[in-house]
Each structure stands twice: as structure tokens, then as C-alpha cells.
Amino acid sequence: MTTTTNPADADRELKAKHRAMWALGDYPAVATEVIAELGPALVSACGVKPGDQVLDVAAGSGNAAVPAALAGAEVVASDLTPELLDVGRRAAEQAGAALEWRVADAEALPFAGGQFDVVMSCVGAMFAPHHQATADELVRVCRPGGTIGLISWTPAGFIGQMFAAMKPFAAPPPPGAQPPPLWGDEAHVRALLGDRVTEVTATRRMLRVTRFDTPEAFRDFFKATYGPTIATFAFNAQDPQKVADLDRELVELARRHDLGGGAMDWEYLLVTARRVNSD
């Protein structure tokens, strides 16, 4: 006798795992202590201005949403993980930023078509498992003539290489899931968005990271704060040798990228596009 899994049930289970993974550790610490520059860079590239209706997809704790609100936009920050939104809500209040926080799946956004002037995501939507479904939603909720803006880690950059280093130790991905760093490949993003957008610009940039004095400090910080890294170590917790090997891989990765004094450059792809005026 064979059994089949209902696709809707499988998707709910997958999203529950993603939600739980990003609630591990302290991702807001990564956002504020390591990659804080990325949010304002994306807001600037999207040309966010007062009065714009802005949606930040997979917003996490709001490292792009809050700067957009402070620029005068009317912002909705959406994310699959409510724990991250809770942190973002408190941080926004402290910064004097007013915005709406919504629990939402990047692959099935609960918003009307063409609702937003700007739809953006800062190293967030790239982690949704089904890339085409995510891209379709980004385009759908953006108004004709509106702006779509994305920052994603590249496959060849530091975070892309970190995921490559962790892959042999990680749980097998579910069927149909695609690697997050593919969003950092310009050809992949252009194919996902297709002819529904125009005026596409794609620029590779470097984020200078100076948070870690040593490779070991990087490893220990990510073991304690970054959901995917925590989950990978947990998957190998019963095998001390694999834990030791993964420890070593992460230290070696940071050592290879060390520019001196602990400084590293992490490559990302910044994409902006304008939704065409008709489908």
C-alpha cells in the first residue's frame, strides 16, 4: 500500500520548518551588527520617497522597512516568522518609525495585485524555497510602473560560499526547493522576472564586514545567531566528528576571506526593475 502526501500539507510543513529555523538564535543581531548597511542601500536604490506605498517582503526585523518608513513612505513589513516582526516592531518604535507588520508567506502574499509603489526584499525573499512562485508574487503586488528592488547574496560571495560549505552537513532540501544564493545570479533573476519588468539594473557590490576580530569569532557568532547555521549544527549534534568538521569549515571560510584584522568583503547583487504597464 502506498501513501501520498497532500501538496498543501507538505507546503505547510515546509513553511513551518522555515518559520522555526529563522526564529532560532538572534537574527536581529545579524541585521543590526553585521549587515545594517544593506537596508538603507536598498531603500536608496529603490528611490523610496514620502508617500510611497512600500512592501518589504521577508522583512525580518525590518532592516530595510524601518529606513523606508523613516524616509516618509507608508510601509508594510511582511515576514513568515512572527518572532522577527516582534523585534522589528519594538525597534521601529524606538526609532520613531510608524509602519505595519504582517505575518506573510513570500510565495503567497496576502495583498491585492498592484497595491504597492515599491516592492523590495533585503536578503530575505531569496530564502523562500520556490523561486518562481516568489518572483511571481513580487511582480503581482507591484503596481504597473512601480519598482521592484532586491538585495541577495551571490553564489561566489562569502555567504554563498558559507552555504556551499554547510551543504554536506545540512539536512537534504525538500523536493523542488532551490538554493537561496541563486537569487544572487543576475541571469537567474532576469529569468524569474521575465518580460513583466523593464529597466532592469543589476550591480554586484561588496559589504565590508568588520564585526569579527578572528575567524573563530565569526563562527561562534553565526553558531549562536543565524538560523540556518544553528539548524545545520543541530542536524549533526549526535556526531561530534561532523560538528568538529563543520566548525573547521566555517573557520577556514572566514580565514580565506580575511583582508586583515578580521575585515571581510561579502558580495551581494543589487537588482532594481520597473514593472511594465501591462501584463
In a domain, 71, yes or no: yes
In a domain, 254, yes or no: no
Q: Which domain, by its residues, includes 64?
A: 9-208+264-275
Q: What is the pTM of this model?
A: 0.95
In a domain, 114, yes or no: yes
Sign of the alpha-carbon torsion through 125, 131, 135, 140? negative
Give the CATH number of the domain where residue 112 resides. 3.40.50.150
In a domain, 131, yes or no: yes
State the pLDDT confidence band at 175, using cuts at 50, 70 and 90. Answer: confident
**How confident is the model at residue 2, as a pLDDT?**
47
State the pLDDT confidence band at 208, using cuts at 50, 70 and 90. Answer: very high
**What would the pLDDT profile of 49-95 be if each residue is shown by its tens digit?**
999 999 999 999 999 999 999 999 999 999 999 999 999 999 999 99
Average pLDDT over residues 136-146: 98
Give the separation between CA 140 and CA 279, rounded to whole angstroms: 10
In a domain, 166, yes or no: yes
In a domain, 252, yes or no: no
In a domain, 117, yes or no: yes
Number of structural domains in the chain: 1
**What would the pLDDT profile of 213-255 be if each residue is shown by its tens digit?**
999 999 999 999 999 999 999 999 999 999 999 999 999 999 9
In 3D space, the residue among 16, 11, 270 whose CA is nearest the CA of residue 130 turns out to be 11
In a domain, 241, yes or no: no
**How confident is the model at residue 202, as a pLDDT?**
98
State the pLDDT confidence band at 46, using cuts at 50, 70 and 90. Answer: very high
In 3D space, the residue among 248, 239, 245, 242 whose CA is nearest the CA of residue 219 turns out to be 248
3-state SS track over 195-207: HHEEEEEEEEEEE
In 3D space, the residue among 111, 128, 242, 114 whose CA is nearest the CA of residue 178 turns out to be 128
